[in-house]
Each structure stands twice: as structure tokens, then as C-alpha cells.
Amino acid sequence: MLGGLLLALVAAPACDQLPPGGLVGPGTLDEAEFAPRRQAFLEHATGALATGSPLSAIAHMERELRDPGYQAPEGAFGADAWDAIFTKISTFEDTSDFDVLYLINALLGYRDHPRAVVVPELWQKTEDAILAFKFWYTQPTPPGIVDDMWYWSENHQIIFHTLEYLAGQTWPDRTFTTTGMTGEEHRAHARERILWWLDHKARFGFDEWHSNVYYQKDVTPLLTLVEHADEPEIATRAAMLLDRVLLDLALHNFRGAFAATRGRTYKKDKMTSLHDDTYGLQKLLFDESPYPYESRTDAGAVLFARAKKYALPKLIENAGRSETPFVDRERMGIPIDEFAELPRDEDGNVVIDETGAIPPPPAPYGFDYRDEANLPIYWAMSALTTWPVLPMVFEVADKYSLWDSELFQPYVEIRDAVGSLAFAQIAAQALPHAASSPLNEEVNTYTYRTADYLMSTAQDHRKGSRGNQYHSWQATFDPNALVFTTHPGTAPRQTLDWSDDGEPGSWTGTASQPRSAQHENVGIHLYAPQYTVAPGVFRPLTRYEPYTHAYFPQDHFDEVVRDGHWTFGRFGDGYIALYSWRLAEFVDHGPNVATNGMLQPFDLVAPGGPDNVWIVELGSLSESGSFAAFQVAVRNAAVSVTPVTTDIPRGSRGPFFEVRYESPSQGALEFSWTGPFLVDGAPVALTDYPRMDNPWTRIEHLDLDLTAQDPETGAALYHRFEKGQRVVFDVR
């Protein structure tokens, strides 16, 4: 595979000859092929005016530039059109940075638009709002305002840095009204942080792994840098990171669905791919969805439809559309030991240092837990409540008055109840499975895709622990036809609002992560929560329901068959068999619980306890014969589930399970709470994966560089990150 690629690299341009975003050549998606897709989306986006949205303004003006037959309505975006946005960002509300990103894209791309679709007064208001913005938590807040912006997660970090950099680049000599800094000072401040963020994500991947919400929020600032940053170093490295996020989307694309396990997602995004934040981008880039666009102001689709410097590498499109079966293994994030023992002196007393904190254990990769320079690392991981990180949380929250913000208020009652930093650390260490529920630490993901289905799993990830927004595994046949299991944190809410759920709720997140293992088309998921419901202020952090359940939307499958412990489904030529050790039944929750228009019950509930075993096997007409034959083969497969109630390790909660499943397609699979995953007697690794390993590329863990080639077409992609070399080409 790599011979032709290496020969081609000899003739590749030197990095100082590459335009922003790298070499645009025969290895990128052909404009003639992409133009109809872009036109289709812009026609959808301009089907109505959303005068309160800068993204709508971008879509209308972009379509006017590209479509001679279309004329955007002059003056449609009047002087007060975005006043609600300006009020929001002037009071530093959460997600204000998202709004400013869209404003700055509109301003930089269209302020000189030949017709006044946006009136001059609105452009001036936009400029004034950006000049008055606060770009980082260390910068001053105007008197009388509580800063509720969330700077910490990885997507917010790169958005804030992008905004500060481009604002500084645009107005280098202006003094910004809130910060008192010049534009050039802002540009320099952000430049350092952008380069750090790009390097860190290239090396470790994303904490919010495969997120069908927040990948859009990573993609849009990266594309904005490619399109608007003047410095080739910034633009080219941003293009390299953008390639990698889009390759991740491609590898998990199935018929237009971003069909992956995820570190962060919500009920609205996970029950149907049509409602997730990456759907428009998936449909535009890979042209695979049989369904229409949903949103007219989809940020990913709007900004890609107007992109001029970034062209999608053909290799990435091919990876998204290939029907050849393959496995993708990935490792992302940084490990953190939330279970680490507290240090004790020779008398057995917990050690407390002169600052009133318990000294943390050695930090991963030398990223000191007490150094504020590493705050973006640990807070991007949502590690706020892990005991090693708490001293920095308290210090920074005190220093910058973060306790007053809406997003920190939920922690104040707990902080006051425990009384001191050391006791907060002791409490967090005593309840690590519950206290660290937002934590996105290192994960190993496994995905198997064929022409008929895709299944993706977070392998053996934080077993027994609470996960506010985790999505452990998913089997996908269509953007609507998908199946997964959770341990619910709450009962279904009596509401007709489909999105109203909680964290973890009935569907969002999981009250306890299963110990999961997947090998190609078969997965086993063992549930055994490792904490109990606690009283008082800790109850909201520890409550859960006494059952597990599966989302199995009967309306969206061609056939569904219940048979004892098995539930079978068929979508087209793809099949699923789902086993529950505790006998499961479909439950209709009544007329006061939202169904998103589904008429048949979709909640497959396994009552009797929060501990359970779920087994899933996928098949297809080409692999398994008829749907009836698939059912017979699975029904006849031996399943042995043995609860283990003795010799439970100290500090753990049983019962655990030992499972043996005689898969018709894979042979004997054996799995337990602590043992290896065996397939026909041979152990299968669940951890220590490469950064990325699939037929298109293999990136070793911590390697910054990428060499990729499509085995079917020869399209190639080449990154030498520290040298700023990005080459996209076709070796044929």
C-alpha cells in the first residue's frame, strides 16, 4: 500500500509552498461532484428566512454568490435582527461563544457582500459585540455581571481561542473594550493556545470521543481557522486536525448516521441520527442519507457549504462510503486514576499538605494536577470532581469567582456540606464510581461495519461507574433503526417534550457503565453498578432505577420478534438478535410520555435489578441466510450466564457475571467482570489500542503524524504535523 505513496511524496511540494489547508489537488473531492450537494443544501437552507440567525444570513448570501438564479432578499437582516444574540453575549451566557463564532464567520465572509442582505448597522453592531467580548476565563468581567460561559470542555476551548485569534487578526490596533487588550495582544495570546490545543488533540485524540453533538463544535472552529487565519502554520495544522475529525466521522458513517459509541450525547441526539448535530454535515459530505435535511441553520453544513479553501480529501469520502467490511480500533483521551488510594503517613492518617489539600498521585504523562497551565487538559476531560484534580478546581474557582456562575452552583452545596478541600477529596475518593460521573478519560473504541449494519462499542470502559452523557454501544441499520442499552438514572419523565430527560436520565447517559466487549458482529455487556444510592446532598449523584433497558424502536424495523430472552429485528437485509438474562418486555409508558411520533413501544425493559447481561449478535442475508434462519441459529446457540456472589474483591459490589455464548458466526465467546475476553479460547485485546487502526491508516498511540491510503482507489493523505506538511493527492 505505502510504496506508491512514498514515491509520490518525493515529488510533493515543500511545506512552504502549500496554501492554507495544504495542497488541493486530485486527491480532493471533485468540485463537479460536490457542487450539486452544496446546491441542494443551500436550497434547503434558504427555503425560509431565519432572521435571528447569522447562519441563515450566511446561507442566503452564499447561495446568491453561487447560484445566478437566486437573489437573497435585500435588507432581510435588519439592524435589530440579532439583538437577542447581542444581549446574550454581552451578559456572558453559556454557549455565547457558539454565537460569536457564527457572527465572526458572517462578518469576515460577507461584510463586503455586493448587496445589503445584512444592513450596515447590523454589521457595525456585530463588530462592536466582538470587540466587547471576553475570550478567556482569566480576562476581566464587567461589574455586575456573572460570567456563565463554559470555557472548559475541548470544543469550547478551541472556539474561544479561534474567536480571540481572528478578532485580534482583524483589528490588531484596536483596544477591546472589556479586556483593555489590543487586538495584537489577543492574537498572540490565542495563537499559543491554538497551537497547544491542535498538538494535544493530534496526539491524544478527543475527550468527547465520537460525540454526535460536540464534533460539530470542533469541526466549525477548525474550518473557520482554515478559511480565515492568515498564518499558514495555523491554517494548515487546523486542516490536519479537521481531516482527522472528518475521517472519524467517515469511519462511523452508516447511511448518513454517525453511528458510534460516544463520550458525550443526549437523548435528542441518540434516539435518531436525524436530530443529532452532525447529521447535516454527514449528509453533505458523504451523500449517503436517504432522508432529507432537518435544520436550515445546521452550523456544520452551512460553513462547509461556503468553504473555499478546504476541500474534503477523497480518501475520507471513500472511507465514509465503502461497503467493504472492516474493523476500526481507536484510543482517545488521557487516563486518570480516580480510584487511587489517598496517601497516608506511617500512623495511617491521610496526609494533608500546608495548603489544606491531599497531595495527588503521579499525574499521567507528567501533566501536574496542581499546575493551572494544565487546567485545560483536566477540565476538558470533565475531571472536576475527581479527587486528584479538586485542589486545582477549588483554587481556580476561588481565584476567578467561578462559584457564582450557574454552571458551578450545583457544586456549592456539596462543597459547603463537606466543609473543606481535604474532606471533599476524601468524599470523592470514597465515591469514585458516582462522584466522577462526568469524567471522559482514556477510552478504547471498536467498530465493525458492513454493507448492512454497523456496531460500535467502548471496550471495558469505566465498568460500574456512572456516566452523565456516555453512550456505551450501538448497533445501527439506518438513522432511525438503531439499538442500544442503558442503565437508567431516572424513570421516564411525564412530559411530551422528547428532549426532556436529565443526566443521567432515562436515556441520556447511564447510571452505570457496563463492562463491554465486542468482536466484529457480536457484543457482550455486563451491568453491575459499583455504588449504592446515598442520602442527603449526595443522592442526586447516586440515584438510579432498579432495571436496565434497551432502546429498540419497533416502528423503524421491518420486523420485530420477541422470543423468551431474545428479541430479533430485521431492517432490510440486516438482522439483530438481542439477549437479556433478565427477561425483558416492551413497555408502553402511557400517553403522558413522549414517543417522538412512534406508535409501538420502543422501551425494552428488563426488571428485577440493575445488574444484568445483554448479548447482541448482528447478521444479514448474505452472512446468515434468511431472517428465519438467523433466528433459528441464534435460538439454538447455547448461552450460559452464571452470577458470581462469592469472592467479590474488596471494595467491589456483586453479583458479577460469567458468560459463555456459542455464537453461530464467531464461535464460543467468554467474558466476565474481571477476566479476559475470549473468542474461541483466544484472548482479544480490549485496551491499549493504537490511536487509530483501520484499512485506511494506522496511527500509533501518541504519534502526531498520519500516512493514509485508500486500499481500493489509491487516494492518499499525508500529515507531518510538527513540520506543518499536509498533502492530499491520488497516487494513480
Region 368-379 average pLDDT: 95
- CA–chain centroid gap for 599, Å, is 30
**Average of per-residue pLDDT values in the chain:** 94
* DSSP notation for 360-385: PPPPGGG--TT-GGGHHHHHHTT-TT
Sign of CA dihedral 687, 209, 29, 311: negative
The closest of 587, 455, 571, 467 to 524, measured between CA atoms, is 455
Indicate the SS3 state at residue 634.
Answer: helix
Region 336-361 average pLDDT: 95
Q: What is the pLDDT of residue 350?
A: 96
Q: What is the pLDDT of residue 371?
A: 95
Region 373-397 average pLDDT: 94
Own/partner pairs, 83-91, CB within 8 angstroms, 24+ separation: 84/52, 85/52, 85/54, 85/129, 86/125, 86/129, 89/129, 89/133, 90/129, 90/132, 91/145
Cα torsion through 652, 546, 442, 687, rounded to 10: 70
**What would the pLDDT profile of 94-150 be if each residue is shown by its tens digit?**
999 999 999 999 999 999 999 999 999 999 999 999 999 999 999 999 999 999 999
Region 554-571 average pLDDT: 98
Indicate the SS3 state at residue 253.
Answer: strand
Least confident of 14-28, 239-253, 549-563, 712-726: 14-28
End-to-end CA, the chain: 12
Burial readout 532-542 (b: 16 or more C-beta within 10 A, e: otherwise): eebeeebeebb
pLDDT at 20 over 70: no
Cell of 206: 478527543
In terms of phi and psi (left: phi > 0; alpha: psi -120 to 50; beta: otherwise), the region of 287 is left
Region 507-531 average pLDDT: 97
The radius of gyration of the chain from alpha carbons, rounded to an integer in Å, stands at 26
pLDDT at 17 over 70: no
Beta bridge partners of 77: 118
Give the pLDDT band (50/70/90) at residue 413. Answer: confident
Region 390-407 average pLDDT: 91
Q: What is the pLDDT of residue 3?
A: 45
Q: What is the pLDDT of residue 574?
A: 98
The closest of 311, 239, 279 to 715, measured between CA atoms, is 311
DSSP 275: G
Indicate the SS3 state at residue 410.
Answer: helix
Q: What is the pLDDT of residue 542?
A: 86
Helices (H), 555-640: 621-624, 627-635
Where do we find the cell 447590523?
122
Q: What is the pLDDT of residue 732?
A: 61
Q: What is the pLDDT of residue 14?
A: 40
Gap between the Cα atoms of 215 and 246, Å rounded: 9
pLDDT at 5 over 50: no
Q: What is the pLDDT of residue 731?
A: 67
pLDDT at 402 over 80: yes
Element (H, E) at 133: none
Gap between the Cα atoms of 161 and 164, Å rounded: 5
| Contact of 574 with 477, CB cutoff 8 Å | yes
DSSP 537: G
> In Å, what is the CA distance from 413 to each residue of 148, 416, 421, 528, 655?
18, 5, 13, 29, 33
Region 564-576 average pLDDT: 98
Q: What is the pLDDT of residue 639?
A: 98
pLDDT at 625 over 80: yes
Gap between the Cα atoms of 171 and 33, Å rounded: 38
What backbone torsions phi and psi does residue 625 show, to the nearest 5 degrees? 80, -150
Region 616-629 average pLDDT: 98
Q: What is the pLDDT of residue 319?
A: 97
Where do we find the cell 498572540?
188
Q: Which residues contact 374 (CB under 8 A, 6 or more apart)?
A: 363, 367, 368, 392
Q: Burial level of 95, CB count in 10 A (0-12/13-18/19+)?
A: middle
- CA–chain centroid gap for 43, Å, is 29
Gap between the Cα atoms of 339 and 439, Å rounded: 13
| Contact of 75 with 64, CB cutoff 8 Å | no
Gap between the Cα atoms of 719 and 9, Å rounded: 11
pLDDT at 491 over 70: yes
Q: What is the pLDDT of residue 18?
A: 41
Cell of 143: 461589574
Region 666-694 average pLDDT: 97
pLDDT at 160 over 60: yes
Report which of residues 477 and 730 the model is more confident about: 477
Q: Domain coordinates of the chain in residue numbers?
A: 2-324, 440-693
Give the pLDDT band (50/70/90) at residue 412. Answer: confident
Region 463-490 average pLDDT: 97
Gap between the Cα atoms of 24 and 28, Å rounded: 6
Gap between the Cα atoms of 698 and 325, Å rounded: 17
pTM of the full predicted structure?
0.95
Q: What is the pLDDT of residue 316?
A: 97
Least confident of 195-199, 394-398, 511-515, 687-691: 394-398
Gap between the Cα atoms of 614 and 515, Å rounded: 11
Q: Which residues contact 322 (CB under 8 A, 6 or more apart)?
A: 712
Cell of 5: 505513496
Element (H, E) at 41: helix 31-45
Q: What is the pLDDT of residue 677?
A: 98
Tally Cβ neighbours within 10 Å of residue 135.
28
Least confident of 7-11, 391-395, 526-530: 7-11
Report which of residues 704 and 427 the model is more confident about: 704
**What would the pLDDT profile of 285-297 be if each residue is shown by its tens digit?**
999 999 999 999 9
What is the amino acid identity at position 472? S
The closest of 541, 333, 519 to 432, measured between CA atoms, is 541
Q: What is the pLDDT of residue 533?
A: 81
Beta bridge partners of 567: 562, 578
| Contact of 201 with 194, CB cutoff 8 Å | no
Where do we find the cell 462592536?
128
Give the pLDDT band (50/70/90) at residue 8. Answer: very low
Region 624-637 average pLDDT: 98
Q: What is the pLDDT of residue 4?
A: 46
Q: What is the pLDDT of residue 714?
A: 87
Region 353-376 average pLDDT: 95
Gap between the Cα atoms of 435 and 338, Å rounded: 9
Helices (H), 46-182: 54-66, 83-90, 96-110, 120-131, 154-170
Q: What proportion of the chain, given as a percentage, has pLDDT over 70?
A: 96
Region 18-45 average pLDDT: 79
Give the pLDDT band (50/70/90) at residue 62. Answer: very high
Region 259-273 average pLDDT: 97
Find the largest Cα–Cα distance for the chain: 83
Gap between the Cα atoms of 285 and 243, Å rounded: 12
